């Protein structure tokens, strides 16, 4: 009988140990701060088989926000959203990079997740800076086509480190064409939807864009300088369709 009780006690202790391991807390959310005088920060970590690390950072309205999760096999993925629920990039995108303009002043959450079945190391690179006046910057400029027109032309001037932001409403399956004219090295475009879907990143270094639109929503276009100095440009935005 004594041996039976000893065996039961040992079994209970083993179960308690398993329960303790199973109840181990997830990695705590880390708040990010920029060092004084800087607008870029880095964090490094290791994730195992679907693990996730959450970060949070406070940003202002119309900040130029760039996030990259760099990993050896591009298997550290991003999800980004605002405290108000606005999704900048969803977990369905399987993305490692996002660039755009913050819609309001609030906390923004960044999840870095390992692909299922993978163990990975990553470097999270976050940059955020207020949009500089170019001058003066009117904020995000809405593009509206004249009645019966399918295109519009806007013009502006950008300096290194600044950008001009535009937004227009377009529908699912329409085709968007964007062409800019500026002296080399000219300007670089970023194109993304209000839901965070990136159609073209600034990493492409392209002054033009052509593509079919995935949903009906607002689409944002940012124009940045492609090199040192200041650049005057004109930009024609055309929306055709719907594509059949």
pLDDT band, very low/low/confident/very high, at 170 (cuts 50, 70, 90): very high
Q: Is the peptide bond before 185 cis (omega within 30 degrees of 0)?
A: yes
End-to-end CA distance of the chain: 80
pLDDT band, very low/low/confident/very high, at 132 (cuts 50, 70, 90): low
Task: Express each pLDDT in 84-107 by its tens digit.
Answer: 998 888 888 888 888 888 888 999
CA distance linking residue 96 with residue 67, whole number of Å: 8
- The domain 30-130 is placed in CATH, from the list 3.30.360.10, 3.40.50.1100, 3.40.50.10320, 2.60.120.380, at 2.60.120.380
CA distance linking residue 91 with residue 111, whole number of Å: 9
Residue of higher predicted confidence among 64 and 126: 126
The third-level CATH classification (topology) of the domain covering 141-240 is: Jelly Rolls (2.60.120)
Task: Give all strands (DSSP E) within the chain, no chain letters.
Answer: 30-31, 40-48, 52-59, 63-70, 76-82, 87-89, 97-101, 106-114, 119-130, 141-142, 151-159, 163-170, 175-181, 187-193, 198-200, 209-212, 217-225, 230-240
Task: Express each pLDDT in 14-48 by its tens digit.
Answer: 334 333 333 333 568 999 999 888 889 999 999 98
Task: Express each pLDDT in 187-240 by its tens digit.
Answer: 999 998 887 788 888 877 889 999 999 989 899 999 988 877 788 999 999 999
Q: Which of 59, 144, 159, 139 is nearest to 105 (CA)?
A: 59
Delimit the CATH 2.60.120.380 region(s) of the chain: 30-130, 141-240
């Amino acid at each position: 009988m004594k041996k039976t009780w000893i065996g039961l006690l040992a079994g209970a202790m083993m179960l308690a140990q398993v329960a303790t391991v199973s109840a181990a807390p997830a990695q705590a959310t880390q708040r990010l701060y920029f060092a004084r005088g800087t607008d870029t920060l880095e964090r490094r970590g290791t994730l195992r088989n679907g693990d996730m690390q959450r970060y949070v950072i406070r940003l202002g309205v119309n900040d130029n926000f760039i996030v990259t999760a760099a990993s050896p096999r591009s298997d550290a993925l991003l999800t980004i959203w605002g405290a108000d629920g606005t999704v900048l990039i969803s977990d369905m995108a399987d993305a490692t990079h996002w660039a755009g303009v913050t819609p309001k002043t609030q906390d923004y959450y960044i999840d870095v997740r390992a692909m299922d079945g993978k163990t990975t190391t990553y470097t999270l690179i976050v940059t955020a800076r207020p949009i500089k006046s170019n001058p003066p910057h009117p904020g995000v400029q809405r593009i509206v086509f004249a009645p019966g027109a399918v295109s519009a032309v806007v013009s502006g001037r950008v300096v290194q480190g600044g950008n001009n932001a535009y937004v227009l409403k377009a529908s699912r399956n329409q085709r968007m064409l964007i062409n800019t004219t500026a002296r080399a090295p000219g300007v670089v475009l970023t194109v993304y939807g209000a839901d965070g879907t990136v159609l073209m990143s600034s990493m492409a270094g392209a002054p033009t864009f052509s593509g079919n639109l995935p949903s009906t929503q607002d689409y944002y276009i940012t124009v940045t300088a492609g090199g040192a100095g200041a650049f005057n440009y004109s930009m024609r935005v055309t929306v055709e369709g719907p594509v059949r």
